[in-house]
């Protein structure tokens, strides 16, 4: 490692030539160089150039809940790798993986009880969709195959998960026209519960949760007897940290029950305390039929994900077909168990709730900035939506990259936040302190002021999607 860092410019050149990055334009990378990270401690990151950053993004995509430098997780992985590094998915497992399945049954709500393990959120979404179909088939209802998801939802980059990712403005970064997706007939979209930009121009509570009603309309439009499941994120993540209005999720649950459709909650971002409760659905007292978890399951220390089914679904399936070589990987399971142990012992869910409450209070003050339209969030998951005209809730043209500019200035000041789709995301590790929350908002305040002041001279700042991450 030290040898690599000794020749940093060569390392950066090789990163440029020999690694294919997601959504980061080559022109931008050549100009700025790839960002080579070296180490982390708590909520702090250090890059190979020796600069320190406060990580308000949990590693960039909301994964590192327990923070960096957790020897306990590293040790658990080391010991498991030495004892038994691997088991195959064909009816074979290890004590540590069973222990993890027990723990997941304990921390998830209701009778969510049986886990199918894989390695990424996308795979777990695919597994959940297959679980739903194979359950219906086992129930003598094999015609059900259609999947309803929400516009603006993001469920992953593999073909099935990407097909459930409803195409939305700005989502070209995930779903390109050249991408293979399942034929449209298998997937239908409903309206997201995005009150700030309600597609129908309605206001809660007068709207009578019309967004929920569009799910019923989508089911009816597909032929209810052909619909297998509804998949949604309880708090929509990539769409901009969209917290649904009270009653929304209960309404969706009721609609699904009425038509015999399974409800899948994609908790890849919300899971394990991110929103100040163990899971996003816990805020709404709703138990889904299948829950998808990833990212925070291991705090990013090892790749692992799971689709967790209710007892009645698992019991009904005589067999489940969906093989992954690394499903239930013992080393990843050891990382997950140690990570969940830390979240429990250090009461990180409660810390996310209390520091999150404090931080959103500070963020609300940013509404004084002319380009800040909305500030929203739950626990330690927050978003600041930037707008061209706050009174009309009019977004900036995406090509201006105003969110990227704000994030780039913040990065120069030692703060790591994520721009996407006109919004600046904040999702720090659950160990975040009030002092770190104050520092984050202070830097963001300055970054917003600078971007407002330089609004017309953006030539030196990245404008393409992905740049500035
Ligand atoms: N579901 C949600 C809600 C996500 O935000 C993501 C990734 O960000 C995924 C699924 C896909 O997870 P992965 O990138 O691990 O495949």
- Check which CATH number belongs to the domain holding 370 and give it: 3.90.1150.10
In a domain, 53, yes or no: yes
DSSP state letter for 346: T
Same domain for 276 and 381, yes or no, is no
Pocket test for ligand 1, best of 63, 291, 294 (most atoms within 8 A of CB): 294
**Residue 443 Cβ < 6 Å to ligand 1:** no
SS3 labels along 115-178: EEEECCHHHHHHHHHHHHHHHHHHCCCCCCCEEEEEECCCCCCCHHHHHHCECCCCHHHCCCCC
Cα gap 29→305, rounded to integer Å: 30
Q: Is the CB of 155 under 6 A from ligand 1?
A: yes
End-to-end Cα spacing for the chain: 24
Domain that holds residue 212: 71-345
As a whole-number percent, the residues of the chain with pLDDT over 70 amount to 95
Calculate how far, in angstroms, residue 237's C-alpha sits from the geometric centre of ligand 1. Answer: 9
Task: Give the span between the Cα atoms of 152 and 175, in whole angstroms.
Answer: 11
Q: Are residues 135 and 279 in the same domain?
A: yes
Tens-place pLDDT, residues 377-401? 999 999 999 999 999 999 999 889 9
Residue 456 is predicted with a pLDDT of 53
What is the Cα–Cα distance from 247 to 294, expressed in whole angstroms? 26
Examine residue 298 and state whether it is found in any structural domain, yes or no.
Answer: yes
Which of 158, 267, 268 best tests ligand 1's pocket when mutated (most atoms within 8 Å of CB)?
A: 268
Model pTM?
0.95
E-only strand ranges, 297-426: 305-310, 372-378, 381-389, 394-395, 415-416, 418-420, 423-426
The strand pairing partners of 290, in sequence order, are 264, 309
Using alpha carbons, select from 103, 73, 466 the residue that is nearest to residue 301: 73
> How far is it between the farthest Cα atoms of the chain?
64
15 falls within a domain? no
**Mutate which of 58, 59, 154 to test ligand 1's pocket (most atoms within 8 Å of Cβ)?**
154
CB of 240 closer than 6 A to ligand 1? no
Instruction: Indicate if 47 and 84 belong to the same structural domain.
Output: no
Match 């990163």 to its residue by tokens: 15
Q: Determine whether the shortest distance from the Cβ of 237 to ligand 1 is under 6 A.
A: yes
pLDDT at res. 177: 72
- Which domain-ending residue is among 345, 374, 398? 345
pLDDT of residue 460: 40
DSSP 433: -
308 C-alpha to ligand 1 centroid (Å) = 16
Counting from 1 in the atom list of ligand 1, the atom nearest the Cα of 156 is: 11
Sheet with 112-118: strands ordered across = 112-118, 305-310, 290-293, 262-266, 227-232, 146-150, 187-190
What residue owns the CA closest to ligand 1's atom 2? 155
- Quote the number of domains for the chain: 2
Contacts with 177 (C-beta within 8 Å, 6 or more apart), sequence order = none
Residues 190 and 326 placed together within one structural domain of the fold? yes
CA distance 296 to 342: 12
Residue 24, domain member (yes or no): no
Q: Please say if the pLDDT value at position 172 is more than 80.
A: no
Ligand 1 mean position to 154 CA, how many Å?
7
pLDDT at residue 183, as a whole number: 72
| Interval between CA 266 and ligand 1 midpoint (Å) | 8
Mean pLDDT of 259-268: 98
Instruction: Give the Å distance between the CA of 156 and the centre of ligand 1.
Output: 5
* Same domain flag for 162 and 274: yes
Q: Is 156 in the pocket of ligand 1 (CB under 6 A)?
A: yes
Per-residue confidence (pLDDT) for residue 270, from 0 to 100? 98
Within a domain: 26: no
pLDDT at 465 over 50: no
pLDDT in tens, 102-144: 999 999 999 999 999 999 999 999 999 999 999 999 999 999 9
Tell whether 82 is covered by a domain. Answer: yes
Question: Does residue 10 lie within any of the structural domains?
Answer: no
| Residue 268 beta carbon below 6 angstroms from any ligand 1 atom | yes
Residues 334 and 383 placed together within one structural domain of the fold: no
Q: Give the model's pLDDT for residue 6.
A: 76
Indicate whether 167 pLDDT > 70: no
Domain shared by 340 and 408, yes or no: no
Mean pLDDT over the full length of the chain: 93
- Kindly indicate the confidence band of residue 169, based on its pLDDT and cuts at 50, 70 and 90: low
Cβ(121) – ligand 1 distance below 6 Å: yes
Ligand 1 centroid–CA 96 distance in Å is 25
Residue at a domain's end among 345, 372, 388: 345
Q: Locate tokens 């967004």: which residue?
A: 211
> Two tokens at 375?
């500030």
Are 159 and 286 part of one and the same domain? Answer: yes
Is the pLDDT reported for residue 316 higher than 60? yes
Structural tokens at position 198: 């309600």
| Lowest pLDDT segment from 23-27, 42-46, 265-269 | 23-27
Task: Determine how many CB atoms are found less than 10 A away from the CB of residue 136.
Answer: 22
Evaluate: CB of 238 within 6 angstroms of ligand 1.
Answer: yes
- Torsion, CA 402, CA 403, CA 406, CA 409, rounded to 10: -90
23 pLDDT band (50/70/90 cuts)? confident
With a 6 Å cutoff on the Cβ, whether 152 touches ligand 1 is no
Supply the DSSP symbol for 243. P
User: What spacing in Å lies between the alpha carbon of 269 and ligand 1's midpoint?
Assistant: 7
Q: Is the CB of 162 under 6 A from ligand 1?
A: no
Do 321 and 287 fall within a single domain? yes
Residue nearest to atom 12 of ligand 1 (CA): 121
CA 208 → CA 65, 193, 211, 246, 358, distances in Å?
Answer: 36, 12, 9, 11, 31
Backbone angles phi, psi at 160, to 5 degrees: -65, -45
Q: 269: Cβ below 6 Å to ligand 1?
A: yes
Q: Give yes or no for residue 170 having a pLDDT over 90.
A: no
Same domain flag for 286 and 394:
no
Question: Does the residue 28 lie in any domain?
Answer: no
Tell me if 300 CB under 6 Å of ligand 1. no
Across 340-380, the runs of DSSP E, i.e. the strands, are 372-378
Same domain, 177 and 321: yes
Rounded to whole angstroms, how far apart are CA atoms 214 and 220? 10
Residue-wise pLDDT for 334-381, tens only, equals 999 999 999 999 999 999 999 999 999 999 999 999 999 999 999 999
What CATH number has the domain bearing residue 313?
3.40.640.10
Lowest mean pLDDT: which of 26-30, 78-82, 374-378? 26-30
Instruction: Find the mean pLDDT for residues 157-183.
Output: 77
Give distance in angstroms: CA of 121 to centre of ligand 1.
5
Residue 463 has a pLDDT of: 40
Least confident of 7-21, 136-150, 157-171: 157-171
Q: Judge whether residue 264 has pLDDT over 80.
A: yes
Same domain, 420 and 388: yes
Domain boundary among 312, 345, 378: 345
Find how far residue 70's CA is from the centre of its chain.
22
461 pLDDT higher than 50: no
């Amino acid at each position: 490692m030290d040898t690599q860092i000794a020749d940093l410019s060569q390392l950066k050149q090789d990163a440029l030539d020999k690694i294919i990055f997601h959504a980061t334009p080559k022109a931008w990378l050549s100009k700025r160089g790839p960002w080579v990270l070296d180490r982390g401690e708590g909520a702090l990151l250090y890059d190979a150039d020796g600069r320190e950053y406060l990580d308000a993004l949990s590693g960039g995509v909301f994964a590192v809940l327990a923070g960096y430098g957790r020897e306990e997780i590293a040790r658990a992985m080391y010991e498991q790798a030495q004892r038994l590094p691997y088991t195959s998915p064909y009816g074979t497992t290890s004590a540590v993986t069973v222990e993890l399945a027990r723990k997941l049954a304990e921390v998830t709500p209701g009778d969510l009880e049986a886990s199918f393990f894989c390695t990424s959120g996308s795979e777990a979404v695919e597994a959940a969709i297959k679980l739903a179909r194979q359950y219906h088939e086992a129930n003598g209802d094999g015609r059900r195959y259609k999947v309803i998801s929400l516009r603006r939802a993001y469920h992953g980059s593999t073909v099935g998960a990407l097909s459930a990712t409803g195409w939305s403005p700005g989502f070209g970064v995930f779903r390109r026209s050249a991408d293979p997706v399942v034929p449209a007939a298998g997937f239908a979209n409903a309206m997201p519960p995005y009150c700030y930009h309600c597609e129908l121009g309605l206001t809660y509570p007068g709207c009578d949760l019309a967004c929920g009603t569009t799910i019923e309309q989508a089911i009816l439009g597909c032929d209810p007897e052909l619909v297998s499941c509804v998949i949604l994120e309880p708090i929509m993540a990539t769409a901009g940290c969209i917290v649904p209005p009270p009653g929304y999720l209960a309404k969706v649950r009721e609609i699904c029950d009425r038509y015999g459709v399974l409800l899948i909650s994609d908790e890849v971002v919300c899971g394990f305390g991110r929103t100040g409760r163990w899971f996003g659905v816990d805020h709404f007292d709703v138990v889904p039929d299948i829950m998808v978890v990833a990212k925070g399951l291991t705090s990013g220390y090892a790749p692992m994900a799971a689709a967790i089914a209710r007892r009645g679904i698992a019991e009904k399936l005589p067999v489940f077909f969906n093989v992954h070589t690394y499903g239930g990987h013992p080393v990843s399971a050891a990382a997950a168990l140690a990570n969940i142990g830390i979240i429990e012992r250090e009461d990180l869910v409660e810390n996310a709730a209390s520091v999150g409450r404090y931080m959103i209070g500070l963020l609300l003050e940013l509404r004084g900035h002319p380009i800040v339209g909305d500030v929203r969030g739950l626990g330690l998951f927050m978003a600041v939506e930037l707008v061209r005209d706050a009174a009309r809730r009019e977004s900036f043209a995406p090509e201006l990259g105003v969110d990227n500019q704000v994030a780039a200035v913040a990065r120069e000041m030692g703060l790591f936040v994520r721009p996407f789709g006109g919004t600046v995301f904040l999702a720090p590790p659950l160990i975040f302190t009030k002092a770190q929350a104050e520092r984050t908002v202070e830097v963001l305040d300055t970054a917003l002021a600078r971007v407002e002041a330089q609004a017309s001279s953006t030539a030196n700042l990245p404008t393409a999607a992905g740049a500035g991450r």
